[in-house]
Structure 1
Amino acid sequence: MAPRAIWKGLLKIAEVSCPVALHTAASTSERIAFHTLNRATGHRVRRQFVDAATGKPVEKEDQVKGYEVGDGDYLILEPEEIAAAVPESDKTLAVASFVACKDIDDVYFDRPYYLTPADPTAQEAFALIREGMRRSKVAALAQAVLFRRVRTVLIRAHGSGMIATTLNFDYEVRPAAEAFRDIPATKIKGEMLELAEHIIATKAGEFDIAGFDDRYDASLAELVKAKLEGRRIAPKKQARRENVVDLMAALRESAGVAAKSKPAPRKKPASRQRKSG
């Protein structure tokens, strides 16, 4: 049984419409979660808003949103005023354009969702859109009101379905130049570059995210299990990290280790030469 959809609407391309459903693709619900307790009683504690000046608790009905217009000066916004700013949803993913998959800058990616046909009658139109994009090697850029905001969504063919990824707006993504400003222009060539290419080649593989574990969450799970069983887990010692002083020496050593870990190709038996005479 397919997971419950978190949104349903129409995927619209020009005059072609297809009922679709969004499903959560990534979730943190399986992670180990803790509650905050009162050590003395073992009871859960709850958060409470207090007045920053008086220190007195503020009840929920007395809490309002405020926008700071000066130092300690706030413009109060009533709940109905904020609600009026929420855009009206027509439940439509309206495709504005198609872009080449190779031209997509994933720095703008926000959250992925699975996109499926909303009902059996939509399957043919859904497959037509999916295969058209797959064959053309393009993705669709669409907009829709999702979760109280107008969101830009990138839609791509994925297996028998599609992936809809919400995108950050341009103002939300910091320019790369800000982060890279202090990196000097350095030319790498010769043996150093060849060694780096060799190491990369020996570690070539295929993308398989299942091969990477969440070590922190696994450690927390083991800690909980040990405490339930009355066992004590000793804190792990942090491995000492040594600074690399000689980059070339480190590259040569890494290349040697990589070569040893990779099985050597089997040599073909030398062909026998016939003696003359």
Structure 2
Amino acid sequence: MAPRANWKGFLKIAEVACPVALYTAASASDRIVFHTLNRATGHRVHRVFIDSESGKTVPREEQVKGYETAPGEYVVLEAEEVASAVPESDKTLAVEAFIRCREIDDVYFDNSYYLAPANSEAQEVYAVIRDGMRASQVAALARTVLFRRVRTVLIRAHGAGLIATTLNFDYEVRPAEEIFDEVPDLTIKGEMLDLAEHIIRTKSGRFDPSKFEDRYEEALADLVKAKIEGKPVPIRKEPVREKVVDLMAVLRESAGLAGRKPARRSSTPAKVARKTPARKPRTARRKAS
């Protein structure tokens, strides 16, 4: 059974329009889902909304949206008032500009979708747009109404098709300075940088998503299977903790070798570290200060 499109409309570039459909690229629908049950009866339980003051159940028709203006004070918004804020949609992904593929920081990426031709008649136009973008090595910035909001979408060539990624708004992305402001601006060079580069080279590889396992999901599947078959529940094994190497300790040890052996340029970090001058005694540093 073919997947169901999340959205259908037109990809429009200037006067060219191509019927397209959006399909979710990543989904959590295959994950194991649990329901909340009444332990005594085995029946499913349902969530109800309770008035925080009276403790009485509030039926759906009496529930409204509210925006808190002060502690315990709210502006009430009716359903039709909220609906009036939803922008009208013309079902068009209107391309506003073409940019270099690496121009947008990945931190702005939200959700990705497969953007495919909506019908056989659109395939030729779709292929022209896809191949033109690939040949020019550009991505398209487009805007449309998706899921009740005007969204900016980044469209890129991907294999035989196109990938459309919704972008976070600027106000949704926290400034990096909030997190990194207190990180000192240090310049690392010499033996320290040589050692770091050596460690990185020894762990170089390629991204293969099939090698990354969802261990929690697999453990849940084994647990459910054991319960169904009436077998003992699998005992969780303690993870084997690998020895963590202190990078600075390695550097200090390498630096300690410098005073005992001649300095010589080498590709191995330990030998490179021999060129590091021996550290001054603590007393000498105190006098200098």
* TM-score w.r.t. length of structure 2: 0.83
* 3-state SS, counterpart of residue 224 of structure 1: helix
Q: Counterpart of 1:47 in 2: which secondary structure?
A: coil
The SS at the match of 1:27 is coil
The residue aligned with 2:136 is: 136
| AA aligned opposite 2:57 | P
Query: What amino acid is the match of 1:80?
Result: E
Q: Which runs of 5+ in 2 are unaligned?
A: 255-266, 269-289
Moved more, 240-249 or 11-20: 240-249
Contact 1:151–1:167, Cα closer than 8 Å, also in 2:
yes
Q: Which residue of 2 aligns with 1:76?
A: 76
Root-mean-square deviation (CA, aligned residues, Å) is: 2.2
SS at match of 2:156: strand
Closer/same/farther in 2, CA of residues 252 and 113 from structure 1, 3 Å limit: farther
* Aligned match of 2:175: 175
Letter matched to residue 24 of structure 1: T
Q: How does 1:1-277 map to 2 (within 5 A)?
A: 2-229=2-229, 230-237=231-238, 239=240, 245=246, 247-249=248-250
Deviation at 1:170, TM superposition (A): 0.3
Residues 77 and 106 (structure 1 numbering): CA distance in 2 closer, same or farther, change over 3 Å? same
- Aligned partners of 1:243, 1:17: CA distance in 2, in Å? 56
Do the aligned partners of residues 36 and 241 (structure 1) sit closer, same or farther apart at CA in structure 2, a change above 3 Å counting?
Answer: farther
Shift of 1:119: 0.8
Secondary structure at the aligned position of 2:102 is classed as helix
Matched-pair contact (CA < 8 Å) for 2:10–2:18: yes
**Partners of 1:196 and 1:251 within 8 A in 2:** no
Once the two structures are TM-superposed, the CA of residue 189 in structure 1 deviates from its matched residue by 1.9
Question: How far is 1:206 from its partner?
Answer: 1.8
Q: Distance in 1 between matches of 2:241 and 2:100?
A: 46
In structure 2, the residue corresponding to 1:128 is in which secondary structure? Answer: helix
TM-aligned CA distance change 1:16 to 1:37, over 3 Å: same
Measured after TM superposition, the shift of residue 247 of structure 1 is: 2.5
**1:182 positional shift:** 1.7
2:112 is aligned with what amino acid? P
Query: Any conservation in 2 of the 1:38–1:45 contact (CA below 8 Å)?
Result: yes
SS at match of 2:61: helix
Preserved CA contact (<8 Å) 1:244 1:250: no
CA distance, structure 2, for counterparts of residue 133 and residue 215 of structure 1: 38
Q: Which amino acid aligns with 2:188?
A: I
Give the percent of matched residue pairs that are identical in Structure 1 and Structure 2. Answer: 64
1:100 Cα deviation after fit: 0.3
Provide the TM-score with structure 1 as the length reference: 0.86
Conservation of the 8 A alpha-carbon contact between 2:192 and 2:251: no
Q: In structure 1, what is the equivalent of residue 258 of structure 2?
A: none
- The superposition leaves residues 104-143 of structure 1 with CA deviations (integer Å, 9 ceiling, x where unpaired) of 2110000000001111111111111111111111100000
Which whole-Å CA distance do the structure 2 matches of 1:251 and 1:21 have between them? 59
- Give the whole-Å Cα distance in 2 for the aligned partners of 1:251 and 1:64: 64
Q: CA separation in 1, counterparts of 2:239 and 2:87?
A: 51
Offset of residue 65 of structure 1: 0.3
Task: Give the C-alpha shift of residue 227 in structure 1.
Answer: 2.0
Please say which of residues 198-207 and 93-102 is displaced more in the overlay.
Answer: 198-207
Answer whether contact 2:143 2:151 (CA < 8 A) is retained: yes
Gaps of 5+ in 1: 257-277
Moved over 6 A (4+): 250-253
- Report the Cα distance in structure 2 between the residues aligned to 1:168 and 1:252, rounded to whole angstroms: 46
Q: Secondary structure at 1:102's aligned position in 2?
A: coil
Classify the secondary structure of the residue corresponding to 1:142: strand
Distance verdict in 2 for CA 1:68–1:207, change over 3 Å: same
Deviations 1:29-61 (A, max 9, x none): 111111111111111111110001111110000
